[in-house]
A = this chain, B = another copy of it.
Amino acid sequence: MWGIELQRQSEVPLKRQIYQMFREQIVSGRLRAGEALPSTRELAAELNVSRNTVNEAYDMLLAEGFVASRQGAPTRVAEGISLEQIPVSRPKRPSETARFWEADFATGRPDLRQFPRYVWQQISQKALGDMPLDLLDYSGPQGLPELREEIAAWLFRSKGLTVDARHIFITAGATHALHVIADLVHQEGKEMLVEDPCNRGMLQTLQNKGYPIAPIPVDASGLQTEALQGKRACAVYVTPSHQFPLGGILPAARRAALIRYAREQDCYIVEDDYDSEFRYYGDPVTPLFAMDPERVVYVGTFSKVLFPGLRIGYVILPGKLHHQWRQLRTHTDVQNPPFEQAVLAEFLRTRKFDHHLRKMKKRYRERRQVLLEALAMHFGDTCRSWGDAAGLHLAVEFPGACLDEKFAQACRQSGIRITPVEYHCIQKGRHRDKLLFGYGHLEPEEIRQGVRLLCDVWKSFAK
């Protein structure tokens, strides 16, 4: 009777089960407007539950307006509730399921096997125990002061930059930084200028904003600053320390030209210093930021050095952008969670970060060397590498070759993940002869094996 079957073992309380059965019947129209519900006494006896349970179910129906009741009269279904029932779609499996690759030259991946998990855990436990109560509350859109102080200290000892911690704003990584910066620098009727080629993920972040974007070509020395002339820009997005993906260092004269352009246009330069920590012969390149902190918005990230799941980066902002950044961040995602910030601050303070960086730099340098040797062995003079000895990937030119999506697909079919530079190009065709080899996350033997496999595909593709 009444179509109610109670599940007495369920975690859903009986009163809620009764409420739900009625609700479903009312919404589906099986119980019609004006129909009377049974008395609570009658239903309690019928279902063998306490009258109080039924009363509570009816109170819920009443509070939510599914039924109406008047003193002395039976409880009746309210007007205007029934709805045509629409079936719920079955969720699809996301397409991003992990695949095993015979050779995986994905770019931008640090070697997580080398991450000092035990040290991180120890610091985490300490940070958890020490965390003051007010860090559980909103602690502000700028990020933990301790972490910002430690980042400032590290920028000084590693790159010689003098930055006031009050100019540093913690972000949820570089993508998130760019997502907020786009709104920060946007001006109606002006374009955001980007390097071409440029990281496609970052480009997509900008494109999703719907603001106009214009490409500026890149050569072996980075952004071709002479192509800036005549453009009306609100900002220029650049990777001057290690151009992504081609690897050039922007020379001082182009840096100066870029800053002069920004001053003339009264626009900003967004400097993405995504992997400058890993420079294998010589010190890190000094950020463009050092040349004009009032024009350059500097973006740094810890994902490439520690682990991508960390989701902590930072921006250094000119004073006149501080207020608006706080507003935007507050209404985007409020703030970073405090825990990872506190752990990272301690990781920096105790110089565990510097130690890890030194260790990885040595390791990545060796891997880059292994990659160069393997390429020389299998491809000889038919290829040449681009860019500075830095970062976690290498751009390699194969003069005369056409390494487009079709080639990448042939590689995937052979179990090789590799990205043509073309993938990151806005204007297609200019870099069709180049491939990107991410090597940071690969052991030397994996690199050798990968190049060997690639050479096989190459030969069969060239036929």
Number of copies: 2
Q: Which residues of B contact A138 (CB under 8 A)?
A: 308-309
Which residues of chain A have a CB within 8 Å of any CB of chain B? 11-13, 15-17, 19-20, 23, 26-27, 56, 59-60, 63-66, 78-84, 86, 88-94, 96, 109, 112-113, 115, 117, 121, 124-125, 128-129, 133-140, 142, 156-157, 159-160, 164, 166-167, 172-173, 175-176, 179, 183, 201, 204-205, 208, 221, 249-257, 259-260, 263, 282-283, 285-286, 290-295, 307-312, 318-320, 322, 326, 328, 330-340, 388
With A78-B253, A308-B138 already in contact, the answer to whether A128 and B124 are too (CB < 8 A) is yes
Choose from B60, B81, B125, B160 the contact partner of A12 (Cβ within 8 Å).
B160
With A63-B388, A160-B16, A179-B332 already in contact, the answer to whether A309 and B139 are too (CB < 8 A) is yes
With A115-B136, A251-B65, A335-B311 already in contact, the answer to whether A164 and B79 are too (CB < 8 A) is no
Q: Which residues of B contact A252 (CB under 8 A)?
A: 26-27, 64-66, 78, 81
Q: Which residues of B contact A183 (CB under 8 A)?
A: 208
Most buried by B among A221, A255, A290: A255
Q: Which residues of B contact A335 (CB under 8 A)?
A: 309, 311
Q: Which residues of B contact A259 (CB under 8 A)?
A: 83
Bound: A21/B180 CA distance, A:
35
| CB–CB A337/B337 < 8 A | yes
Choose from B88, B125, B286, B290 the contact partner of A125 (Cβ within 8 Å).
B125
- Across the A-B interface, the 3 shortest Cβ-Cβ residue pairs: A65-B251, A91-B166, A89-B319
| CB–CB A78/B251 < 8 A | yes
| CB–CB B63/A249 < 8 A | yes
